Amino acid sequence: MTFYSSVFVLTEVMMIAMTLHVFFYTGFTKVQKAWFILTFGTIFFCALAEYSVHCGYYDKAFDIPLTILTVIQFSVAPIIGILFVGALGIHQKKLAFIYLAINLIVEIVAAPFGWIFYFNDDGYHRGNLFFIYGIFYFSSLIYLLISMLIVGKRFRNRDKLTAIMIIVVLAAGILPMTFYKINITYLAIAISSILCYIYYNDLVQHDIQEELVINQERISNMQVHMISGMANLIENRDLETGEHITRTSEYVKKISELTRKDGFYKDEITDHFIELIYTLAPMHDIGKIIIPDSILKKPGKLTKEEFEVMKTHASVGGNLVRDVLAGITDDEYISFAEDIVTYHHERWDGTGYPKKLKEEEIPLSARIMAIADVFDALVSERCYKKAMTPDEAFKIIEEESGTHFDPTLVKVFLNHKNDFEMILRKEKKSKKN
């Protein structure tokens, strides 16, 4: 009896713990919580009812109340599986009530005749038709297992493994009860219910994760389209600048990849960094949207005053990026974009604009952008100049290492000239087509 008492206590403690967990858990709706709490509460009651009958302190004077308690237990126990199906999201209120009503009617009719169970001087005994209760009970559990497979079909192999575990646990508790009268049935049901709960909680978390991924993809697409749209504002004003945007995106990606490959700035240049700089590079000249056509498209050299106006595109562009992206993306994304747009005209020696930053005060993304920006400007024809050859452009980049550009990045850039010439040829070929 000590063993059975321990089993009973363990079962009840587990159900109390699970009920409290569900009550305070924020991942379920009120309806889901209600079904789970009803399920765990029913298991708690049934275990308590069974212990009351089999606790070893039977008294003939309590036959009637024990009979009523057992009738209720035998009526409620078979619907545990259906209650849990409701908790899994397949809300079967009508089926649960119908199943409960049928069981209750059968138990009430059978009780006076001792067909399913009866009490005598020795206490509780099973009747000749006890198998009827077993049929109701097992059919409910089978319904639960089938429902688990339906609800969890997205899990592929996971749902099968969980179902097998639950079958094993139920068999370990119910079969001894059925054939050897070892009363650990509700312990098995309690453990199985916990497995079901964990299983369903995994499903909920899986759905939440899927929703997060979908939302993240939606936001990412929105960001890409916005960046593309903003860059196209410039392209519609200046087709040469538009093509420049496309090429510089490829250049910055290649410089980043090669710099990391050659062993430089490995802590900063992650896959995420490369993804960001490639995605956000098209925005680097977005501030030119405010530059008048008389300056932006001037065929000759800019005057000092005109150049001062042109220089404002960096700081204005940075503010524009922050204003446009605020509220639709995270601070890291905004900060990265702002760095590229605002600081890609800073110089390694501190003579650039808009803030005269020097050396590593300049964000790495902007230092990479500076090389890509200048190189493409040199090899491209503009309204105010002819295009240089790649070799001439490489020579200028080399000459300005340590003054205009980060010498480490220049070293990487010059060590992989073929990669950048290939990008240039590819883009020019695409333009012709």
Mean pLDDT by 10 residues, the chain (433 residues): 72 86 82 87 88 77 88 88 78 80 91 90 86 84 76 56 61 56 63 69 63 66 64 58 75 96 94 92 86 83 90 90 75 89 96 95 96 92 79 95 96 94 76 55
| Assigned domain for 219 exists | no
Q: Are residues 415 and 283 in the same domain?
A: yes
Q: Are residues 263 and 376 in the same domain?
A: yes
Q: Are residues 188 and 138 in the same domain?
A: yes
Q: Tell me the backbone φ, ψ of residue 66, rounded to 5 degrees.
A: -70, -35
Q: Are residues 400 and 311 in the same domain?
A: yes
Judge whether 184 and 176 are in contact, CB under 8 Å: yes
Domain coverage including residue 44? 2-210
Q: Are residues 198 and 280 in the same domain?
A: no
Distance CA 222, CA 249 (A): 18
Judge whether 74 and 61 are in contact, CB under 8 Å: no
Measure CA of the first residue to CA of the last residue in the chain; give whole Å: 89
Residue 117 per-residue DSSP state: E
Q: What is the pTM of this model?
A: 0.54
Helix (H) or strand (E) holding 332: helix 331-343
Helix (H) or strand (E) holding 124: strand 123-126
CATH code (residue 393): 1.10.3210.10
Q: Are residues 192 and 294 in the same domain?
A: no
| Assigned domain for 319 exists | yes
User: Residue 395: which of 382, 419, 378, 383 has the closest Cα?
Assistant: 378
- The 10 Å Cβ neighbour count of residue 65 is 10
pLDDT, residue 157, reads: 46
Contacts of 34 (CB under 8 A, 6+ apart): none
Q: Are residues 372 and 296 in the same domain?
A: yes
DSSP character string of 61-96: GGHHHHHHHHHHHHHHGGGHHHHHHHHTT---HHHH
CATH code (residue 30): 1.20.1070
The number of distinct structural domains making up the chain is: 2
Q: Are residues 350 and 297 in the same domain?
A: yes
| Assigned domain for 227 exists | no
pLDDT, residue 209, reads: 63
